[in-house]
Structure 1
Amino acid sequence: MHNTKQRIVLALILSMTASVLVIVAYSLNLFEPLELTTLDVRFRQYAHLRQADTNIVFATIDEQSLSNFKQSGIVWKWPRDFYAALVRYLHRGGAKVVVFDILFSDPDIDRISSDATQTDGAFAAEMQKAGNVVLASHFQSSEDFLLDDNPLVRRRNQLLVDEFAEGKIFEYSHAILPIEIFQKGMASLGAANYVTDPEDGVCRRLPLLFRFEGAVIAQLGLAPYIRLKEASSITVDTSALLIDENRIPLDENGNFLITWYGKGGPDGAFRYYSIWSLIISARDEELKKKPQVPSSEFKDKVVFVGSNAAGLFDLKNTPFTSVQPYPGMEISGTLLSNVLNKHYLVRVDAAYTILAIMAFSLVICLAFTIFRLLISLPLAIVAAGGWIFACLHVFETSNTWLDFVAPLVAIGVATAISTIARYQTEGRARRQIRATLDRYLSPVVVKEVLESPDGAALTGKKITSSILFSDIKDYTKISEKKEPAYLVDMLNRYFTIMSECVLDNNGLVDKYIGDAVMAVFGAPLPRKQHAVEACISALEMQRRLQEESERSLQGFPALKTRVGINTGEIVVGNIGSKKRQDYTSIGDPVNLASRLEGANKEYGTSIIISESTFSQLDGSFVLRPLDFLQVKGKDEPVLIYELIARRTDALPEQLELQRGTEEAWDLYKKRLFKDALALYKRIGERHPDDVPARLFIQRCEGYIKNPPAENWNGVHTLHSK
């Protein structure tokens, strides 16, 4: 009985610990990126349960329209009388509202066949005749879009100004608006602002209202609803927007959570029409010909006009972007369909999620401290499965967003700390560490790790290290000519040599990737000389391979290896799945080391190191500057060097090559291309096989003929990996 009480007390302590950890992480939104991903999965799974409003259709500027008009000699941007014809055609067919998700912020341009004033005037006149056209605007806080006070904006949206209560309305001081003649012709204005979640840049919610210069403008998808319903009462509070009797829920930031209907575009949830076919149909109807698409097809429709052509850059990131590119106008159309049909997504209040975290933590900790593993583990699995079912069920049946991740994390954390409290021992942990590190490190380093104060910690940590990548030069050609058995034996012998060079210099063999070796120096324990040890290891690799090729009696091929070395802060730790983990390193410095290894191909070199590695070295190496390189996948250029030899082993011609290249490089940086050319030519004469000299001779000759811009900084972009 006493033992049971102790276990209950322990369970309470553990559950409190688990709850606090998870609740703090939840409060800091650490789970939000994953939570949003699970929300996207739910949308993709259950989108078919709710049908998009069939009275909402899209007239799209697609690739076909651009191509067809281009063949007719009409390139983008099209003359505005195209849109005039489109508005006239849709109005004739009985469209209720026409919404342009196109910013007409500048006047049309003069063309040989048309005058801008006439085309703009024609479009404005047709809008005024139709009386149902909503134009797009865009609001920002940036001073790049500063406009004067515009009374037309205020007049066109006066209903909202008069009726809106104070609440969560986004305030903006700058806007992109339609030109004045269009403001006079339009029926109302809508805000084509699309916000994305900061966690992943995906659009899942929209602000519905925007305050600008004393007026309140509705989002482009809400503006047609206000017009259709002839709203007489509009109020807002902290949780909802009320338009007459329609209560539209808002999240804690005053945004509307979008309910998606499926993938975007012509093959998605809404009906799409190519603008090409509509404009041709408009012309045919006016000529009394049979149109491809009769205008009557748009009777009682709300028509959104916009683009889904990739080249016009109006494709947005949504939960369905991975399935199909999503046009921006369809987001507004989806909002309108949501509001018309009351398809509202509501997220359960955070207080209920916190209660679930606490309840699961308590139940799991009690189970693991009181019952055997055969009982407690299935209980944890059932609890997790039950929560997953609940989240999916309420989403499917009531369009309710129940937080998926945090309670599951609570189950996992409670399971983990309960198991650790009951079963973990230091001896077991140390044996596991030795079993892991023996594969990657020399026995001396393994002993240092185990004897260090934090030696038992193989979880992730940041550390400054030097990363080495090497692979076999022309391996593809070699592999094509050899039998599999020979290749396996050759690679095993090659990897043995490479690994010995790493381990002998206190490095960690991180992994083998095909014919490549990745090694880390300065991990898992910090080492002051990690950059020096990495460079020694690289030179040893070259020497050992040459010796092996010369003395081998079994036909070991004359292999050559290319090496890239970079130094920086990386994350190291046990990474992998539940069934298999490896002690490895990740981070941008790792990627750059790999890129530098590949850069050897361009420069005809064997070992390239970065400036960060160079800065860690003493004067015991012979190196020369190679280039100021912008590698693929990196924002900042990096100064790279060729590692030639250790100074004690250097040949006179290698020292001469170092000095000559340093002088030529200094002149090249100073834009003294003629002087640099002379030195690089001298290097090329003394070293006919030197690829960098040939490259810079070509560059200098090019810059002498065509001098670079004033802001030239010497950066060369490497496009290949």
Structure 2
Amino acid sequence: FFVIFFDYMYIVLSFLFDPALTSEESVIKWYAFAGAVVFFLINLLRYSKAGTIYAGFLSIIVFWGISFYYNTAAVDVFSMSIALAIILFIGYSITTSNKLMMVEANTKKMMERYLPPQLIGELYKKNVSLEPGGKNQKVTILFSDIRSFTTISESMTAAEVVCFLNEYLSEMTDIIFTQQGTIDKFMGDAIMTIFGAPLQSNDDALRAVKTAILMNKALVGFNKKHTQLKKNIEIGIGIHTGEVIVGNIGSDKRLDYTVIGDNVNLSSRIEGLTLHYSCPILISEATFEELSKESIEDSFCLREVDNVIVKGKLNFVKIYEVMFFDTDGEKDIVLRKKEEFEKGLQLYRSLKFREAIKQFENLKNDKLSKLYIERCRNFIQNPPDEFWDGTYTMKTK
């Protein structure tokens, strides 16, 4: 619109102050000039590169055709043609530049919904574009969900639920962004986050685990602010690493930057296991293998939990619990719990169920150990067959 205003002001001032416009023929040439500009501008607003170039040439042809039709030398047609070409070029250049800035601004605004600011800056620095389509890429996926949120929300009004979720999701989003995670989507109280897309890094899995720990720690302060709730909220987090299809996926009217594939489904299933095993954070063996001993800091350790076949799968997945701590005293307690539990797990898999029970009973306040005690008692009553390999099959999601 700035270009249109500029061009019309030029034409109007020319009519008012150009002394050459004294004859009817001269005025007609200026009418032709103005008409050519109008024709060009109408096409310019369509933002079609090919159409605009075509309209520019056609505008000049129209101007010359009208001018030579009247066959007068009152006005220098050649000079006016050059002026017309310059105006058309300036209009095209400014509009094209504005269009690019608009596209970039809209793209940046779209990316800010699910990418941290520092990652957006890195994308522009490396000139990485998020075009429609997808590609195969290895990522780490984090699923989080508030446990029993439906029950918790029953005591709230609709407005209170929305306010509560907005506050919770905002706090969790800040944590995710500090670890440069990409928010795929919010699903009610659940959050799906990607690490490793659009930009990959060697510490994607580690940042996912750190995010899970920080999210759990943030709940302490969050629950203190919401004493009106009947009980403190707890979250379950499942993390898995694998190859997925990642990119802008959707229709020509709506696109979402997301990941799809079997590994996405498995990540969700692992999150669902956190309630069954009473573990706040569970990771798959694939994620475990990404966490090299050099990268694991003194803030958490990993204990093996089970070999489990999740619903909808044929092969088992080995899962681990992320056990975190803040002080050296807490670290000693956590490491002892890990060691004692894994001794019991080895006895359990060796079919030594009575010995395993005694070992698990050493961990009196460990809910996971209580789960295995129940399993051992069931196997004492109903021994597994000779082909049993210690794998547990989940019957529900």
TM (normalized to structure 1)? Answer: 0.39
Q: Kindly tell me: are residues 547 and 694 of structure 1, through their superposed partners in 2, closer, same or farther at Cα, counting changes over 3 Å?
A: same
In the alignment, which residue of structure 2 is the partner of 1:64?
none
- For 1:463-506, what per-residue CA distance to the aligned partner results, in whole angstroms no more than 9, with x for missing partners? 21111111111211111111111111110111011111111111
In the alignment, which residue of structure 1 is the partner of 2:323?
644
| Number of equivalent positions | 300
The correspondence for 1:607, drawn from 281, 291, 297, is 281
Where 1:702 maps in the other structure, the secondary structure is helix
Greater helix share, structure number: 2
- For 1:353-377, what per-residue CA distance to the aligned partner results, in whole angstroms no more than 9, with x for missing partners? xxxxxxxxxxxxxxx99779xxxxx
Q: In the TM superposition, what are the counterparts of 1:273-312 in structure 2 within 5 Å?
A: none
Q: Is the 8 A contact 1:436 1:583 kept in 2?
A: no
Q: Is the 8 A contact 1:548 1:556 kept in 2?
A: no
Where 1:558 maps in the other structure, the secondary structure is coil
In the alignment, which residue of structure 1 is the partner of 2:190?
516
- For 1:612-656, what per-residue CA distance to the aligned partner results, in whole angstroms no more than 9, with x for missing partners? 111111343222211111011222110111112157674433222
**Bigger CA drift: 711-720 or 550-559?**
550-559
The correspondence for 2:361, drawn from 677, 681, 684, is 681
Where 2:313 maps in the other structure, the secondary structure is coil
The correspondence for 1:703, drawn from 360, 379, 388, is 379
Amino acid at match of 1:692: L
Q: How far 1:706 sits from its partner (Å)?
A: 3.8
In the alignment, which residue of structure 2 is the partner of 1:659?
339
Is 1:566 paired with 2:233? no
In the alignment, which residue of structure 1 is the partner of 2:221?
547
Q: Is the 8 A contact 1:664 1:679 kept in 2?
A: yes
Where 1:615 maps in the other structure, the secondary structure is helix
Q: Is the 8 A contact 1:450 1:456 kept in 2?
A: no
Q: Is the 8 A contact 1:570 1:590 kept in 2?
A: yes
Where 2:109 maps in the other structure, the secondary structure is helix
Where 2:124 maps in the other structure, the secondary structure is helix
**Cα RMSD over matched residues?**
2.6
Where 1:632 maps in the other structure, the secondary structure is coil
Amino acid at match of 2:380: I
In the alignment, which residue of structure 2 is the partner of 1:39?
none
In the alignment, which residue of structure 2 is the partner of 1:712?
388
Amino acid at match of 1:660: E
Q: Which runs of 5+ in 1 are unaligned?
A: 1-367, 373-422
The correspondence for 1:671, drawn from 321, 335, 351, is 351
Is 1:480 paired with 2:154? yes
Where 2:268 maps in the other structure, the secondary structure is helix
Looking at structure 1, the residues matched to 135 and 164 of structure 2 have their Cα atoms a distance apart, in angstroms, of: 36
Q: Kindly tell me: are residues 544 and 578 of structure 1, through their superposed partners in 2, closer, same or farther at Cα, counting changes over 3 Å?
A: same
Is 1:593 paired with 2:267? yes
Amino acid at match of 2:243: E
Q: Is the 8 A contact 1:624 1:658 kept in 2?
A: yes
Is 1:576 paired with 2:250? yes
Where 2:282 maps in the other structure, the secondary structure is strand
Percent of aligned pairs with the same amino acid: 36
Looking at structure 1, the residues matched to 233 and 209 of structure 2 have their Cα atoms a distance apart, in angstroms, of: 19
Looking at structure 2, the residues matched to 428 and 462 of structure 1 have their Cα atoms a distance apart, in angstroms, of: 30
Amino acid at match of 2:345: W
- For 1:248-289, what per-residue CA distance to the aligned partner results, in whole angstroms no more than 9, with x for missing partners? xxxxxxxxxxxxxxxxxxxxxxxxxxxxxxxxxxxxxxxxxx
Q: Kindly tell me: are residues 557 and 500 of structure 1, through their superposed partners in 2, closer, same or farther at Cα, counting changes over 3 Å?
A: farther
Q: Which runs of 5+ in 2 are unaligned?
A: 1-47, 53-95
Amino acid at match of 2:234: K
Q: Is the 8 A contact 1:430 1:450 kept in 2?
A: no
In the alignment, which residue of structure 1 is the partner of 2:168?
494
Q: Kindly tell me: are residues 557 and 436 of structure 1, through their superposed partners in 2, closer, same or farther at Cα, counting changes over 3 Å?
A: farther
Q: In the TM superposition, what are the counterparts of 1:517-536 in structure 2 within 5 Å?
A: 517-536=191-210
Q: Is the 8 A contact 2:140 2:204 kept in 1?
A: yes
- For 1:543-563, what per-residue CA distance to the aligned partner results, in whole angstroms no more than 9, with x for missing partners? 111112225588797322111
Amino acid at match of 1:468: L
The correspondence for 2:144, drawn from 454, 462, 470, is 470
TM (normalized to structure 2)? Answer: 0.69
Q: Is the 8 A contact 1:622 1:647 kept in 2?
A: no
Looking at structure 1, the residues matched to 231 and 135 of structure 2 have their Cα atoms a distance apart, in angstroms, of: 40
Q: Is the 8 A contact 1:460 1:571 kept in 2?
A: yes
Looking at structure 2, the residues matched to 648 and 523 of structure 1 have their Cα atoms a distance apart, in angstroms, of: 33
The correspondence for 1:507, drawn from 181, 189, 197, is 181
Looking at structure 2, the residues matched to 470 and 671 of structure 1 have their Cα atoms a distance apart, in angstroms, of: 34
Amino acid at match of 1:562: G
Q: In the TM superposition, what are the counterparts of 1:257-406 in structure 2 within 5 Å?
A: none
In the alignment, which residue of structure 1 is the partner of 2:370?
694
Looking at structure 1, the residues matched to 318 and 357 of structure 2 have their Cα atoms a distance apart, in angstroms, of: 20
Q: In the TM superposition, what are the counterparts of 1:172-187 in structure 2 within 5 Å?
A: none
Q: Is the 8 A contact 1:469 1:517 kept in 2?
A: yes
Q: Is the 8 A contact 2:152 2:229 kept in 1?
A: no
Q: How far 1:667 sits from its partner (Å)?
A: 2.4
